[in-house]
């Protein structure tokens, strides 16, 4: 009896502690500047041709996006998982791909066959996009100790996918005075740039798209900042998931097959059991 009584007291004390912890007011955690901005931020929806179960890539948009990458982003960001020959999938011909590889501004590291020394050569269609920097140390040295991320899988590695990339490259702004009044310690350092879309509001990358007409599109499309942002984010989505259309087609075929199989199975069920009396 004594053991049971003490066990009852221990259990009662445990339940009481849980109850007190549940009903007692909690200390309100101090809100950070990033949490405040993200809570009050409204982003406009971005529509892409590949959205939805029947979406398909717009090849012309992907080619424009590649042009933005080639002329703007490739100065700092690598795409080590994309080969030049992969560009045929977005509508470039073999001669065009060969010319793009040959004219790429960064040569491919190689070994001299005769001397065995390290050298470089013009890129071939079979090569992957060469990095703009020889190593991480050089990349950080050229970017104020910030390492530009590889863009091969960026659209799948960031929450929000291509829409996040669109909002990020168009989201640079002047830091609001009201934010500094509420959070005096949130002032953006001189070496960084204020971008409310970024996780901690301050990003090392300078605004990549600074003005309309920064790129002259080969197809004649007007290169506004908004258009360039949509095109580069769509291109990066293709780079991260080049088989998206195949998945959509396979999924559609499977759904149709399952619907037909379900109808046949139900018909067989009704035919077998139609003469059975309940």
pLDDT digit string (tens) for the chain, length 278 residues? 676 666 666 666 766 766 666 666 554 445 788 888 888 888 889 999 999 889 999 999 999 999 999 999 999 999 999 999 999 999 999 999 999 999 999 999 888 777 777 788 899 999 999 999 999 999 999 998 999 999 999 999 999 999 999 999 999 999 998 898 889 888 999 889 999 999 999 999 999 999 999 999 999 999 999 999 999 999 999 999 999 999 999 998 999 999 999 999 999 988 888 776 65
Q: What is the 3-state secondary structure (H, E, C) of 115-169?
A: CCCEEEECCCCCCECCCCCCCHHHHHHHCCCCCCCCCCCHHHHCCCHHHHHHHHH
Q: Where are the domains of the chain?
A: 48-172+207-250
Residue 160 to residues 78, 164, 237, Cα–Cα distance (Å): 21, 5, 11
Q: Check if the beta carbon of residue 147 is closer than 8 Å to that of residue 136.
A: yes
Dump pLDDT digits (tens) for 145-169: 999 999 999 999 999 999 999 999 9
Instruction: Tell me the pTM.
Output: 0.83
**DSSP, residue by residue, 195-253:** -TTSTTSEESSPPS--STTSS--TT-----HHHHHHHHHHHHHHHH-TTHHHHHHHHHH
Superfamily of domain 48-172+207-250 in CATH is: Cytochrome c-like domain (1.10.760.10)
DSSP single-letter state for residue 9: H
pLDDT tens-digit map of 198-230:
999 999 999 999 999 999 999 999 999 999 999
**Burial of 254 per CB tally in 10 Å (0-12, 13-18, 19+):** exposed
């Amino acid at each position: 009896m004594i053991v049971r009584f003490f066990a009852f007291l221990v259990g009662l004390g445990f339940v009481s502690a849980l109850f007190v912890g549940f009903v007692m007011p909690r200390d309100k955690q101090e809100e950070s500047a990033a949490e405040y901005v993200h809570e009050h931020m409204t982003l406009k929806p971005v529509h892409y041709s590949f959205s939805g179960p029947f979406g398909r890539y717009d090849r012309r948009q992907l080619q424009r996006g590649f042009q933005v990458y080639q002329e703007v982003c490739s100065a700092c960001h690598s795409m080590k998982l994309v080969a030049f020959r992969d560009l045929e999938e977005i509508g470039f011909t073999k001669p065009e791909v060969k010319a793009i590889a040959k004219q790429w501004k960064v040569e491919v590291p190689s070994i001299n066959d005769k001397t065995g020394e390290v050298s470089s050569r013009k890129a071939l269609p079979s090569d992957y996009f060469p990095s703009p920097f020889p190593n991480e140390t050089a990349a950080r040295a050229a970017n104020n100790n910030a390492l530009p991320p590889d863009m091969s899988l960026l659209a799948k590695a960031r929450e929000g996918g291509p829409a996040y990339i669109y909002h990020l490259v168009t989201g640079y702004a002047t830091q609001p005075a009201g934010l500094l009044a509420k959070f005096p310690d949130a002032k953006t350092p001189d070496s960084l740039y204020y971008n409310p879309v970024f996780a901690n509001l301050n990003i090392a990358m300078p605004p990549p798209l600074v003005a309309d007409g920064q790129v002259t599109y080969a197809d004649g499309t007007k290169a506004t900042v908004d258009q360039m942002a949509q095109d580069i984010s769509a291109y990066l989505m293709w780079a991260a998931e080049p088989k998206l259309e195949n998945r959509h087609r396979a999924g559609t075929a499977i759904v149709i097959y399952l619907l037909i199989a379900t109808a046949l199975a139900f018909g067989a069920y009704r035919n077998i059991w139609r003469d059975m009396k309940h």
